[in-house]
A and B are shown apart, each in its own frame.
Chain A
Amino acid sequence: MKTTRRNVILSGAAVGAAMVVPRMAAFAAAPEVKLGVVGVLSGPAAQWGLALRGAVEFVAAEANRDGLIKIDGQPANVSVVAIDSKYTAEGAAAAANSLAGQGVKMILGPIGSPELTGIKPIALRNSMLVMGNGYAKDAIGPQWPLVFHQGPGPSGWADPIIKIAKAKFGMKSVVVVAPNDQGGTDIASVDAQAYKANGIAATEEYYQRGTTNFAPIVTRIMNQKPEAVDLASSPPGDAGIMVKQLRQAGFEGAIGRLGGPGYSEISRVAGGDEVLKDFYWYEPVFIDEKVLKIADDYKTLMKTERPENNLFFQWVSAARMVAKAIAKAGTATDTQKIAAALRSLPVEDPNLGAGGWIGQKFFGVNQELSFPFGVGLVVNGKVQPVQRVDAATET
């Protein structure tokens, strides 16, 4: 076709010349591998997104340092495009679309269930690979072959933690408390089932997201006279207030939080470990010296402190798996091939240790990364060393 000025202007106006230019530039320099990050970077849950973004930026810098990824024999330059998903389904969908428009094929994140629900149709339409989080009951599944789970949900870790807590505190009944939206109900109900499976009577209690003073909820819990309370996926701030107010109300039993990391923030809000008294929680990563080395590496490589939230480590391991899969597949665009490479890779990390792929039983697809994790305990107001638990398996 003859290129007339008119044609150029027309197509330019419709498509946006921006599409063409970077692709041209890429030919001149090293091949480009873009990792997309879709995570909440603003608002109440921003810490999770900041941890995610920091982890992916770190893994990209690592890959560039080591020349890990080669496309057509040439070492590729890995870059990160992070977009705020605002912790909503639309925000995540818009972010995924925007990444698709920039030719990004791999997404790390999102973090919350609503976001993951929002991103999946977009990823399916644009055949993007997603390594996401979100503890929803339908987080991954056979209908989304390119969607992977960066760590198990409560279906993976609730049971071993409950066994440890039961041995320690011997509770026979528990009230599981969580916010009344998807981020709460999907975790609390799985937790409750796991308690029942261990012979502990469990009831669920939901509060409205945005509640600031939990004194009435605490009274309602106290009226049921449980031997333990599980704060499930209540955000750390809310969980901290509830611990404080439960203790003020005279609750003496153990308090758990089987819903995600955040012990240090909960302890800060509650007023210290003496207030926590007897407390057990899920720690997504068992942090030993080996894992902490990531933090040092981060400092040398990125010239700044790592994001505070401990999910950072888990995202580092997940991002490394994706980077390794891209390296193995030798392509940054063919996501089918990358996904196949990812499924075939052994689950191991230089810092976190070895694990496996799980998910077949609960989700119907074996695409959930499972690494060793930790169970945190505070006993009589004293923090115990976090107990290491082997990577969750499905039995």
Chain B
Amino acid sequence: MNPYRSTLFQRIGFGETLTVALIALTFLVPAFATNPIVFSVTNQVLVASTAAFSVYIMLRMNLLTFAVPTFMALGGYTVAIFGLRFGVTDVVLLAALAFVVPALFALPLGALVLRLRGVYFVLVTFVLTEITQLVLFETPGLSGGSNGLVGIPIVTFFGIPLADNRAVLEVTIGLALVAALVTAALTVRFRQHFAAIEENELLAQSLGLVVWHYKALGFVVAAGVSGLAGFALVNMLLMAHPSSFNPLSSVNYIAYAIIGGKGSMLGPVVGATVLVFASDLFAIKGEYSQFLFGFLLVTVVLVARDGIVGTIRRWICRSARTSSEDRKAAVPLAVASEGRS
């Protein structure tokens, strides 16, 4: 659309830049806030966003994944086991492990499941989450079985313990920021490759694109990003428990990405923010909470087909188109929407 793509801003993409900036800005929350609700909600939103990035990456290749809890569990349990068994508490090292271990698991797994497409992939990833639960229950020696692993040592940053509400949130923000940077780097660097796969995999292959290369890469990185979310969750709860990774929670992560808008990296963040807030708000309504949540899902899907971000962008584009002097302002948006196909 814009053949020159001159500025760095345009090359990186509007949505990606804004997402990373937004997450970095949340460092202000632990710096200024004192209310535990603010901490709790920010924590939840960031863990949710991180997990939703994983869904977002897979959606770049037109693959809907339910396997997020599986890789979150791998990341979370890795951290718990290294903390409890080997006394590893350094947050940087643990984050690296939480990314690498799920990614390594994803490699052979990807060889099996990435051959599947469409709904088969959806269903098989769902089965994976069920298997994850059963494996956790059947391996009490390693994973603590149904009781999970509790009493995980406090993580440290260069020897400084990160124990209180504030430090826990800072760890979550740091992990979310890393996840956002990794996601942005992957999806920007391989934007065209992924777009080609999303558009028409067969065609892309016949044009010489080594499709499985990129699919495997996307799957492995998505697994690593999920692992970071698992680390954040385990660190927040100070335990790794099977109920934190239950199969139906995958539906939430998918909802964050889709309700927010799958076309832009901002989508998962917006979706996670809106839905986590809504879910916390509705929780006070007790038995009506799920009803309200369901109603919200249905309404957003019907009113905003492209998700919240996609729909807002369409409004902006439309109003920009109607007034010709604003046309230039719309260029970055148009570039950002390119990866959306």
Report A-B touching, CB under 8 Å.
yes
Contact B32 A101 (CB under 8 A): no
Mark contacts of A83-124 with chain B using CB atoms, 8 A cut-off: 1 yes-contact digit, 0 otherwise: 110111111011101101110000000000010011001000
By beta carbon, the residue of chain B nearest A113 is B147
Contact A181 B150 (CB under 8 A): no
Contact A89 B239 (CB under 8 A): yes
Contact B244 A42 (CB under 8 A): no
Q: Does more than half of chain A's interface fall in helix, strand or loop, or is it mixed?
A: helix
Taking CB atoms, residues of chain A closer than 8 Å to B287 are 41-42, 46, 50, 84
Taking CB atoms, residues of chain A closer than 8 Å to B137 are 180-181
Contacts A83-B283, A114-B241, A182-B148 supplied; 9 other A-B pairs, CB < 8 Å: A41-B287, A88-B243, A90-B244, A95-B283, A101-B35, A101-B38, A118-B239, A121-B237, A208-B134
Q: For residue B292, give the distance in angstroms from its CB to the closest CB of chain A.
A: 10
Mark contacts of B237-262 with chain A using CB atoms, 8 A cut-off: 1 yes-contact digit, 0 otherwise: 11101111010000000000000000
Residue B46 CB within 8 A of the other chain? no
Q: For residue A104, give the distance in angstroms from its CB to the closest CB of chain B.
A: 10
Residue B233 CB within 8 A of the other chain? yes
Q: Which chain A residues (200-243) contact chain B, with CB distance < 8 Å?
A: 208
Residue A184 CB within 8 A of the other chain? yes
Of the listed residues A16, A43, A136, A180, the one surrounded by the most CB atoms of chain B closer than 10 A to its CB is: A180
Taking CB atoms, residues of chain B closer than 8 Å to A137 are 147
- A98 contacts which of B28, B37, B290 (Cβ < 8 Å)? B37
Q: Which chain A residues (38-69) contact chain B, with CB distance < 8 Å?
A: 41-43, 46, 49-50, 53
Rounded to whole angstroms, the CA-CA distance of A185 and B138 in the bound complex is 12
Contact B280 A15 (CB under 8 A): no
Of the listed residues B44, B134, B164, B237, the one surrounded by the most CB atoms of chain A closer than 10 A to its CB is: B237
Contact A89 B237 (CB under 8 A): yes
Contact B289 A16 (CB under 8 A): no
By beta carbon, the residue of chain A nearest B239 is A117
Rounded to whole angstroms, the CA-CA distance of A202 and B239 in the bound complex is 31
Interface size class of A (residues with CB under 8 A): 35 or more
By beta carbon, the residue of chain B nearest A81 is B284
By beta carbon, the residue of chain B nearest A112 is B243
Taking CB atoms, residues of chain A closer than 8 Å to B285 are 84
Which 10 A-B residue pairings sit nearest by Cβ, starting from the closest? A101-B37, A97-B40, A14-B32, A41-B286, A100-B36, A84-B283, A182-B146, A121-B238, A114-B243, A101-B36
Rounded to whole angstroms, the CA-CA distance of A255 and B236 in the bound complex is 42
Q: For residue B295, give the distance in angstroms from its CB to the closest CB of chain A.
A: 14
Residue B34 CB within 8 A of the other chain? yes
Taking CB atoms, residues of chain A closer than 8 Å to B164 are 125
Contact A184 B146 (CB under 8 A): yes
Mark contacts of B31-71 with chain A using CB atoms, 8 A cut-off: 1 yes-contact digit, 0 otherwise: 01111111110001000000000000000000000000000
Contact A185 B145 (CB under 8 A): yes
Residue B156 CB within 8 A of the other chain? no
Rounded to whole angstroms, the CA-CA distance of A91 and B63 in the bound complex is 29
Q: Which chain A residues (118-147) contact chain B, with CB distance < 8 Å?
A: 118, 121, 125-126, 136-138
Residue B17 CB within 8 A of the other chain? no
Residue B165 CB within 8 A of the other chain? yes
Contact A41 B289 (CB under 8 A): yes
By beta carbon, the residue of chain A nearest B236 is A93
Taking CB atoms, residues of chain A closer than 8 Å to B283 are 41, 83-84, 86, 91, 94-95, 98
Taking CB atoms, residues of chain A closer than 8 Å to B148 are 117, 182
- A97 contacts which of B33, B39, B244 (Cβ < 8 Å)? B39
Q: What number of residue pairs across chains A and B have CB atoms under 8 A from each other?
A: 125
Mark contacts of A267-290 with chain B using CB atoms, 8 A cut-off: 1 yes-contact digit, 0 otherwise: 000000000000000000000000
Q: Which chain B residues (281-333) contact chain A, with CB distance < 8 Å?
A: 282-287, 289-290
Taking CB atoms, residues of chain A closer than 8 Å to B32 are 10-11, 14-15
Contact B290 A42 (CB under 8 A): yes
Contact B147 A186 (CB under 8 A): yes
Contact B150 A98 (CB under 8 A): no
Contact B134 A118 (CB under 8 A): no
Question: What are 13 residue pairs bridging A and B, where the CB atoms are less than 8 Å apart in the complex?
Answer: A16-B38, A81-B284, A84-B282, A84-B283, A88-B243, A89-B239, A94-B40, A100-B40, A114-B241, A117-B241, A126-B165, A180-B137, A182-B242
Contact B289 A182 (CB under 8 A): no
Contact B286 A84 (CB under 8 A): yes
Q: Which chain A residues (278-316) contact chain B, with CB distance < 8 Å?
A: none
By beta carbon, the residue of chain B nearest A102 is B37
Rounded to whole angstroms, the CA-CA distance of A208 and B138 in the bound complex is 11
Rounded to whole angstroms, the CA-CA distance of A16 and B34 in the bound complex is 9
Residue A197 CB within 8 A of the other chain? no
Q: For residue A259, give the distance in angstroms from its CB to the closest CB of chain B.
A: 15
Q: For residue B40, give the distance in angstroms from its CB to the closest CB of chain A.
A: 3
Taking CB atoms, residues of chain A closer than 8 Å to B165 are 125-126
Taking CB atoms, residues of chain A closer than 8 Å to B282 are 84
By beta carbon, the residue of chain A nearest B150 is A117
- A14 contacts which of B28, B44, B280, B289 (Cβ < 8 Å)? B28
- B239 contacts which of A16, A81, A121 (Cβ < 8 Å)? A121
By beta carbon, the residue of chain A nearest B39 is A97
Contact B146 A42 (CB under 8 A): no
Taking CB atoms, residues of chain B closer than 8 Å to A25 are none
Contact A185 B44 (CB under 8 A): no
Contact B146 A181 (CB under 8 A): yes
Taking CB atoms, residues of chain A closer than 8 Å to B36 are 97-98, 100-101, 126
Rounded to whole angstroms, the CA-CA distance of A46 and B243 in the bound complex is 17
Known: A94-B44, A97-B39. A43 touches B290 (CB 8 A): yes
Rounded to whole angstroms, the CA-CA distance of A279 and B289 in the bound complex is 37
By beta carbon, the residue of chain A nearest B36 is A100
Residue A249 CB within 8 A of the other chain? no
By beta carbon, the residue of chain B nearest A43 is B290
Of the listed residues B29, B40, B145, B284, the one surrounded by the most CB atoms of chain A closer than 10 A to its CB is: B40
